[in-house]
Structure 1
Amino acid sequence: MHIDNITLKDLSVFTGQVNVFDLINRSTTHLGTRQLRHFLTHPTRQYEVLIQQQEAVQYWMRHQDVWPEVISNGTMVMLREFFESNDGLHYKPSSWLFSLDATIQKIFNKNAYSLLQFSVMHLIDLVKGLAAFNAIEDEHTPALVLQAQETFAHLLREPICREMLDMNEHTALRKLMHAGYNARRGLKKYMTTVFDQFAHMDAWFGMAKATLDLGFVMPEISNEQDIKLQARQLFHPLLQQPVSYDIGLGQEQYMLFLTGANMSGKSTLLRSLGLSALLAHIGMGVPAKAYAISFLDGIITNMQVEDNIFLGESYFFAEVQRMKLTAQKIQQSNRHLVLMDELFKGTNVHDAYECSKAVIQHLLLHKSNLLALSTHLYELYEELKHEPGILFRYCETVIDPTGNYRFTYALKEGVSNDKIGFIVLKNEGVLDLLTYKKDNAGSV
C-alpha cells in the first residue's frame, strides 16, 4: 500500500509531541523499533504478505508471556560491535599462545578485555533467547514465524552455539574467551540474517503488545472486488477520552460528506479513518470494537496543506497541487482511501464552493475508491443530495437559545449548518479587547 510523507504527517504518525508511533512502539530493541517504522512508511503491496504479517502478530498475541527478555537492546548493540570489531586475540584456542595472549590482553588492555568478556555474555544471552523462540509450541505457527525460526535454527546447530547453551556468568573465563574466539570466526556469516529476522519478530511482538494493551481489535481484511470500510466504535487512539463512531462505506455509498461546526470532531473522525486503515495494513490491531476493510492500494490525505513562499506558491495553489496528485493516484489504480478536510480553504467562499462541487462530482466517478470529505459548505447538500453514492453525516454541536454551546462529538445522520465562529470570538473576549476606550484616547 502506498502512503506518502504528507499523509503520515496529516495522521500524526511520527510528528507531534504526541504521535502514533510512540504510542504503539512496544518493541524491546532498536532493531524492532526500526522495523516498525519501516512497516508504517512502506506497508506491503501484497495482500498475501499482509495476511501473513497479521498472523505473525496474532501469534505473539498468544505468546506474550514467553518472549525471551534475556535478549535486550544492549544485547543487540553489543553484538553488532562484537562481530564488526577485532578482538585482539590472534591465536587458535588450542594453542598455548592463546592463553598467553589472553593474559597479556587482560593485564595491559583491561578495558578492551572486559568489553570482550561482556560481549561474550551477551552472545550467550542471544543464543539462549533464540533457543527459547524455537522452543515455543504452537500448532498454528504462521509462515513468517517459521521462517524466522528456521534462520535461528541454522545458527543454533553450530557446535559453539550448543556449547553456549550450557554457559553462564559462572563459566570459567578461559572457556568464555575460547567461545568468543570461535563465535566471532564461525558465526559472523549468520548474523546479518539473524538480526533481520529478530527485528521482524521484535516488531510483531511489539505490535501484538500494543494491540492488547490499547484494547484494539484485529481487523478483517478482504481482497474481494467490492471495496469497503466497516467500523463499529472506531476511535482516535491519541485522545485521552475519545468518542467512538460507527461508520460504514462500501460499494453503494463510497463517499462520506461530513459537516459540523468548528471543533466538533470532523478532523478527528477523518484521522481515525486514516489511522485505522494504516494500522490494519501493517498487520496489527486497530482502535475499534469491530473492523473490516478491503485491501487498499493507498491512503491519500488533503488535510494540512502547506504553501511554499520560496517558490512563490500560495496556499490555494498548494491545495490544487495536492488535489492534482490525488487525481493522478486514483487514475493510476483504484482502491484508495482519500481523506479531504475543508477543501480549498485558501480561496474565497464562492471559489471554494465551485471548486469543491466540481471536485466532488468528478470524484464520484471513481466508485472503486473510498472517499471522505469534511466541509463547512453545507450548501453543497442541495447540489449533491440526490447522489446515491454519498453518505451524509454531521458532528453534533448543541447550541442553546442564549448562545452557549457544547460539543457531543456524536456522529449524526444528515447535514449541519451549525456556526459558532462568532460565538467563540465573542466568548474569548477578542471584541472587548478591540473596543476603543476613551481613557486611552489621550495617550495616542
Structure 2
Amino acid sequence: MVNDRITLKDLSVFTAESGGGVFALLDHTTTQAGRDQVRAHIQHPPDTYEQLQEMQDAIRFWADNGNLWPEVISNGTLVMLEKFFEAADNVSAPPSSLNLLFGPFLQKILNKTDYFFTQFSLSHLSDLLKGCTQLAAIPESHEVPPLLQRELEAIKEELKHRLTPELLAINKNTPYRELATLNFKARREIKNTTYRLMKHYARLDAWQSLARATQKNNWIFPQLSAPLPASFEAKGLHHPLLTHPVSYDISFNEHQNFLLLTGANMSGKTTFMRALGVGALLAHLGVGVPAQSFRISFLQGIITNMHVEDNILKGESYFLAEVKRMKQTATKLQEPLPHLVLMDELFKGTNVHDAYECTRAVVEGLLNRPHHLMVLSTHLYEVAQHFANRKDILFAYFVTDTAPDNTYRFRYELKEGISNDRIGYRILQQEGVIDLLKKHD
C-alpha cells in the first residue's frame, strides 16, 4: 500500500489533534527505535497481499502472547549502547596488567565517570543480549508465524558471537578486571553485531506495540482478501479518535463501487469518510480495526481529496490546488490494482454552478474505474439527483432533524437514499450572525 503525505494528514495520522492522532493510539513501544519503526511502518505499509498476511499473523501472535515480551530491555538500554560504541574509537589498547590490578581503585579515585560508564554500559549490553536470548527461544515452546520466525532466527544467528556467553554472565558482582577486558573486546568485536540486534529488536518492538494497541482498544483483526475483486464490508465501524463515536455499517464492492454521500453541513459526512480511511489503513498495517466485523480486499493505496491548500508563492488558487489533486487522483487510478478514494465536497473553491459541472464530470469519469472503491460527499443535491438512476452507485445520507422554529439536531445516522437537507441559513441564524449584522452603532 502506498499513501502520500496529504492522505496521512487528511486522516489525522501524525497530527497533534485529538491527543496525538492515530499514531498515538498505535504507539506502545518500549524504545525510541521501536517508535521510529512504527512511524516507518505507517508511512510504508506492506507492498503485497502476501506480505500483509504475514504481518497480520506476526502482530496477532504478539496480541495472543504479549507475556513473552522481555522486560529487561528499555529505551535506556539502546541509548546507552549507542553512546558506548560511539566512544569505541577512544579505546586503542587493551588494559595493562597494572591497570587490571589497581583498576578499580584508580578508576574510582581518578576517573569516576569512566569507571561507572564502563560498568553501566556493559550491564546494558548484557541486558540486550539477555532479552534477545529470551526472544530467540520463543520458537522452542510456541508455534511462530513465518515473518516472526525469520526475525527470531536472525537474532539467534547474531547471538552465536563468541563474546555472548561472557557478556551474558555479567552481573553487579563481576570483578573490574573482567569488565575492563570485556570493555575492550566488546567495543572492538561486537559493535556491528549489537547494532544488528538493536535493529531486529526495534522491529519486534514495533510489532508488539501494534498488538498492544489492538488489545488495549478492543479492536478486531480484519478479514483480508486478494486485491480483486475489490470489496469493503464493515459493521459497527467507528472513528477511533472520538470519545463518543457513532458506529457505521457499510458494504460496497466491484458491482457498486461508488458511494455518494449527501446531507447537511456538519451532519457527519467527513467523520464517516475518515473512519473508512482510518479503518482501511489500520487493516493494511496488519493491526486490528475499531469495528464489530471488518472485511477488506488488499488496496494499492488510499487517496483523499479533503483539505487542499493554495500556494500563494506559486500564485496557485484554492481551486487550482483542488484540480491538481484531482489530476493526481486520476493518474493513480490508471493503475490496475484497486485504491480507496475519499472525496469530500469537491471544488469548494469555485461557484455553485461550476462546482456542479465539475463534480458531475469527475463522477462520470470515475464510474469508468470499476476496480476502485470510491466515496464522494457533497451538499450539492443536484449532483445526487443527476445520478439517481445509476445502479452502480450506492446512495446514503446523514439524518438531520429540523423544527418549525428553525432549530435542528444532528443524529449522525447513516441512511440509504439522498438528502435534501439545507440548514446553512439556520446555522447562521442560530449562531447570532444575522442579528449582529442587523445591529447599528
TM-score, normalised on structure 1?
Answer: 0.94
* Partner deviation per Cα, 1:36-87 (whole Å, 9 max, x = no partner): 1111111121222111111110111111122111100010111122122227
1:11 alignment partner AA = L
Alignment of 1:2-401 (within 5 A): 2-18=2-18, 19-86=21-88, 88-92=90-94, 95-99=97-101, 104-136=106-138, 137-401=140-404
Q: Aligned-pair distance for 1:255?
A: 0.6
Partners in 1 of 2:411 and 2:183 — Cα distance?
A: 64
Partners in 2 of 1:319 and 1:146 — Cα distance?
A: 46
* Partner deviation per Cα, 1:213-272 (whole Å, 9 max, x = no partner): 011111111115210011111110100010010001101110110111111110011111
Q: Aligned-pair distance for 1:400?
A: 2.3
Partners in 1 of 2:320 and 2:336 — Cα distance?
A: 25
Task: Tell me how large the CA RMSD over aligned residues is.
Answer: 1.8
Mind listing any 5+ residue stretches in structure 1 that lack a counterpart?
none
1:239 alignment partner AA = L
- Residues 88 and 188 in structure 2, CA contact (< 8 A), matched pair in contact too: no
2:404 alignment partner AA = P
SS at match of 2:381: coil
Q: Aligned-pair distance for 1:172?
A: 2.7
- Residues 83 and 188 in structure 1, CA contact (< 8 A), matched pair in contact too: yes
Partners in 1 of 2:390 and 2:15 — Cα distance?
A: 37
Bigger mean CA offset, 177-186 vs 264-273: 177-186
* Partner deviation per Cα, 1:267-302 (whole Å, 9 max, x = no partner): 011111111111111111111111111111111100
Bigger mean CA offset, 421-430 vs 130-139: 130-139
Q: Aligned-pair distance for 1:95?
A: 4.6
SS at match of 2:206: helix
Partners in 2 of 1:87 and 1:355 — Cα distance?
A: 65
Partners in 1 of 2:172 and 2:159 — Cα distance?
A: 20
Q: Summarize the Cα distance change of 1:246–1:182 in structure 2 as closer, same or farther, 3 Å threshold.
A: same
* Partner deviation per Cα, 1:189-219 (whole Å, 9 max, x = no partner): 3123212211110000000000000111111
Q: Aligned-pair distance for 1:323?
A: 0.2
Bigger mean CA offset, 239-248 vs 382-391: 382-391
* Partner deviation per Cα, 1:303-327 (whole Å, 9 max, x = no partner): 0011111111111111000000100
Partners in 2 of 1:291 and 1:215 — Cα distance?
A: 14
Mind listing any 5+ residue stretches in structure 2 that lack a counterpart?
none
1:424 alignment partner AA = I
Partners in 2 of 1:352 and 1:131 — Cα distance?
A: 62
- Residues 89 and 101 in structure 1, CA contact (< 8 A), matched pair in contact too: no
Partners in 1 of 2:98 and 2:147 — Cα distance?
A: 46
Partners in 2 of 1:41 and 1:108 — Cα distance?
A: 50
SS at match of 1:366: coil
SS at match of 1:86: helix
- Residues 302 and 339 in structure 2, CA contact (< 8 A), matched pair in contact too: yes
Bigger mean CA offset, 119-128 vs 154-163: 154-163
Partners in 2 of 1:10 and 1:50 — Cα distance?
A: 23
2:12 alignment partner AA = S
> How many residue pairs get matched?
438
